[in-house]
Amino acid sequence: MLSPSKTQERGVLHETDAYLFRYPETEDEIIDHENVLVGSRFSGNPQYVLMEISRETIARISFLERDQEISNQQRIAVFDKSTGTICGAFGVSRLDQEVSIPDFNVKFSHDPAILRMYEHYYQLEHSLKMTYPKYFQDLSKICVMHAFAVAPEYRGRGIATLMNEVSIKRAKELGCKYMIAFMVSPETQHIGRKYGFQLLVEQGYERDGLYDQLMLEKKGQEFSERQLKKIEEIKDKFNGREPIYQAVLLTLDDSSS
């Protein structure tokens, strides 16, 4: 936690009357940032919920990614200026600085569920590169906006919109021409449309087989009763609608804010 009296002593990426955006620096800040992110993934991300990935495993993922993301200034924290509490967590990464597939397989070789989830991500990224090669010619010129998380008690206050704006600003500072994001919640998809993100790929969890790909170890395997309950739980979270996984892209220019 950051003491409110110290907020003005440090450089910031963005500041409003209520919130401060900057990189987490101290060990306590890094841990608080991870706790916000882990809590959001554990309770709200359909992939983690469906695959029954434990909170401890999600925390381990964040820990293993910590050194690279901190050293490359890829993690950004949102501080409540009145209390110094970290109330939001997100990241902006250049694609040329992402963890490689071999490195990731070494880190998570013991956990097939995690490997299946990230295999989907890498397959989708590869498909995007093949379908839209002009955007991926120079990976140092394209950013990925990721890991949006807002603490439950701070939701509905416009923080996610501010996070999107700071992400765009940060991507421009990195010299990127494009920014991609992978969105599943209706709230983030609404923000994406508002800011002019172009839809590249859309996958329905049921329509396009994401339930099968993420939850089943073998093709043709049937869902267990427990897994079917998880699917119904996700449908309830989405008000009975099928979750839609979207890959979107924003072209960064002077008009994007």
Residue 154 φ then ψ, to 5°: -110, 0
Residue 100 is predicted with a pLDDT of 60
Could you tell me if residue 257 is inside a domain? no
Could you tell me if residue 178 is inside a domain? yes
Q: Say yes or no to pLDDT of 235 above 60.
A: yes
The DSSP output letter for 6 is G
Could you tell me if residue 256 is inside a domain? no
Average model confidence (pLDDT) for the chain? 86
Residue 6 is predicted with a pLDDT of 45
Query: How many domains, the chain?
Result: 1
For residue range 9-33, list pLDDT tens digits in order.
456 899 999 999 999 999 999 999 9
101, 86, 120, 74: which is closest to 7 by C-alpha?
86
CA distances to 103, 120, 179, 217 from 112, rounded to whole Å, are: 15, 12, 30, 8
Res. 254 pLDDT band, cuts 50 70 90: low
Q: Work out the number of other CB atoms within 10 angstroms of the CB of residue 222.
A: 7
Q: What percent of the chain has pLDDT over 70?
A: 89
**Which residues have CB under 8 Å from 240's CB, separation 6+?**
none
d(CA 188, CA 180): 13
Q: Residue 179: helix, strand or coil by DSSP?
A: strand
Could you tell me if residue 175 is inside a domain? yes
Residue 46 is predicted with a pLDDT of 84
The domain in which residue 238 lies consists of 4-251
Interval 211-228 mean pLDDT: 87
Residue 140 is predicted with a pLDDT of 95
Res. 177 pLDDT band, cuts 50 70 90: very high
d(CA 102, CA 106): 6
Q: pTM for this one?
A: 0.85
Residue 84 is predicted with a pLDDT of 95
d(CA 254, CA 257): 8
Q: Say yes or no to pLDDT of 105 above 80.
A: no
Residue 88 host element (H or E): strand 86-94
Instruction: Tell me the CATH number at 87.
Output: 3.40.630.30
Could you tell me if residue 205 is inside a domain? yes
Are the CB atoms for 252 and 172 separated by under 8 Å? Answer: yes
71, 69, 94, 91: which is closest to 175 by C-alpha?
94
Could you tell me if residue 223 is inside a domain? yes
Residue 123 is predicted with a pLDDT of 84
Residue 1 is predicted with a pLDDT of 42
Rg of the chain, C-alpha, whole Å: 18
Could you tell me which residue, 102 or 1, shows the higher pLDDT? 102
For residue range 49-96, list pLDDT tens digits in order.
888 888 888 888 888 888 888 888 999 999 999 999 999 999 999 999
Could you tell me if residue 222 is inside a domain? yes
Could you tell me if residue 173 is inside a domain? yes
Residue 10 is predicted with a pLDDT of 55
